[in-house]
Structure 1
């Protein structure tokens, strides 16, 4: 009888131990499930953004969103890769080495012509600040007044092909633009490509009085610094795209008031540019980012009419070989509603 009691106790102990083990395992699985749920809902997604140039004021919204934690609040851990003359955001994003990029609208259309399907999700600049800069007092009223002059221009730059197709510029002496202005400064009748948001400031520092003529006066006025993704990424990661665009726009909204502090951050990322130059750029780019169509419709706004106009211009000069619907190349669905 004593043996039976001990056997019964042994069985009960075994059952109790097994129950405790199962309970512990169940508790562990529950903890793992809760942890997985926490990772899904509260974790961060790693993404990379490739800039169209070295950090400047035209990227102020990006650095504002980083500095103020806006990306992080939306569950994104954003790595920023600087651009430069040897960096192609289009190629990097197309290859899948980054999720987001910045480029000009004409670059995106040409990429589409090459079979690279990109989608614009926000246009930072509502127009192009690209211009020709010349010495003050030179009689330049129109683009045909460039004839008889040396013009420093980057070979293959799209707007120059457009201008040569629209105007008779056969008497222009083209010289390669290399980002330096020594030869321009020495030659008082010469003209150089520029951005009104930067080069005039550098000339002011050199005490060289200059004037500018915007390329947009010719009718060629693409969106600049356009935020884009690939079509495939957009279709499979809409939630992430929404979070990124919302953070990006909020960053630009904040930058309008906090540019003094954010520009100091940008200098830290790009010590080759002076704070004064960034402040000049911030001031001169304001109308392009916050004005024009953005004043009525909000930062990042785009229209099919503008994209169609640009596409037609590129078709006319032979930089696009096939026609296509520009509605496939941009969307405003991720931009905040603007009243």
Structure 2
């Protein structure tokens, strides 16, 4: 959701010093709840359902925390804010976390809210394909610098694709039945079908690129100095997602209050379509948020191969499952 390559190059030098400062705080003492901030990676949606459930059910409070949830958006970088010490916790996708780390911003992933990536390519109904190679020759609306597009170009001949910048709108896509646009399986198809426009989708993960999505992270320094706070947050995280699993309609009301621009019917669609992304895969046996060294290692290798990472990184420096509640 951010222009990754440009933003991270600009942020690297300015935030390198701030990253060190962001972890300098230690565990607070006192009788009141500890105040922390969570910055979302977008405006409140069902993909953040577990966090809003934890807030509405007082799971944060039960664990001694006063959590301020701050919305993200096109002009908000959770990575920037956490690295600068303006927030303790943030949400991002796994490839964003890796790219930031490679630029000198040391982040540690605590939990992957979505086990599988809902990132997809969207087509007009009747003009879809089950082969990425068939995209060649079409017009594609893609966010500049998005890693999965570089990956697709490394795996398929897409030399004749006309690449145009994706701006969050679908006006130009709608005017060209042969066009392709980036999308999230859990949202954009619903928006268009509600307007009477049929679509087809092809998940990026079918090409072998499948980063964890909506990953909860902190800086390495903050984690080392605030393990009790992180452990408390993670207890609320697990309880929140488990509550949302069976009470999504109730929690969606809370999300809607935080984001009036998303209708309850949209939240219901997101909750239904994301269910397997959140609670399936490795989470089915190991609990929500679970991550593996193999998945992180595969992603690191892919990003190095396409030039998004300058050098390989030990997966165990990137993530931890120490605080997950199984």
Answer with 214-223 or 39-48: which moved more.
39-48
For 2:82, the equivalent position in structure 1 comes to 93
Q: Structure 2: how far apart are the matches of 1:179 and 1:202?
A: 12
Q: Say which SS state the counterpart of residue 272 (structure 2) adopts.
A: helix
When normalised by structure 2's length, the TM-score is 0.90
- Return the offset for 1:144: 1.0
For 1:301, the equivalent position in structure 2 comes to 290
Matches within 5 A, 1:1-339: 40=29, 42-337=31-326
Q: Which has the larger radius of gyration?
A: 1
Query: Using a 3 Å threshold, how does the CA distance of structure 1 residues 40 and 112 change in structure 2: closer, same or farther?
Result: closer
Would the aligned equivalents of 1:42 and 1:75 in 2 still touch at CA under 8 Å? no
- Return the offset for 1:166: 1.2
Q: Structure 2: how far apart are the matches of 1:259 and 1:281?
A: 10
Would the aligned equivalents of 1:65 and 1:250 in 2 still touch at CA under 8 Å? yes
- The structure in which a higher percent of residues are helix is 1
What CA deviation, in whole Å up to 9, does each residue of 1:16-60 have, x standing for no partner? xxxxxxxxxxxxxxxxxxxxxxx9574200000000000000010
CA RMSD of aligned residues (A): 1.1
What CA deviation, in whole Å up to 9, does each residue of 1:318-338 have, x standing for no partner? 11112221101110010113x
Q: Structure 2: how far apart are the matches of 1:40 and 1:145?
A: 60
Q: Structure 2: how far apart are the matches of 1:315 and 1:233?
A: 27
Would the aligned equivalents of 2:128 and 2:200 in 1 still touch at CA under 8 Å? no
Q: Say which SS state the counterpart of residue 292 (structure 1) adopts.
A: coil
Q: Give the unaligned 5+ runs of structure 2.
A: 1-27
Q: Structure 2: how far apart are the matches of 1:324 and 1:219?
A: 20
For 1:22, the equivalent position in structure 2 comes to none
Q: How many residues end up aligned between the 2 structures?
A: 299
- Return the offset for 1:141: 2.2
Would the aligned equivalents of 2:128 and 2:201 in 1 still touch at CA under 8 Å? no
Q: Give the unaligned 5+ runs of structure 1.
A: 1-38
Q: Structure 2: how far apart are the matches of 1:141 and 1:219?
A: 14
Q: Structure 2: how far apart are the matches of 1:54 and 1:142?
A: 32
Q: Say which SS state the counterpart of residue 218 (structure 2) adopts.
A: strand
Q: Structure 1: how far apart are the matches of 2:268 and 2:122?
A: 20
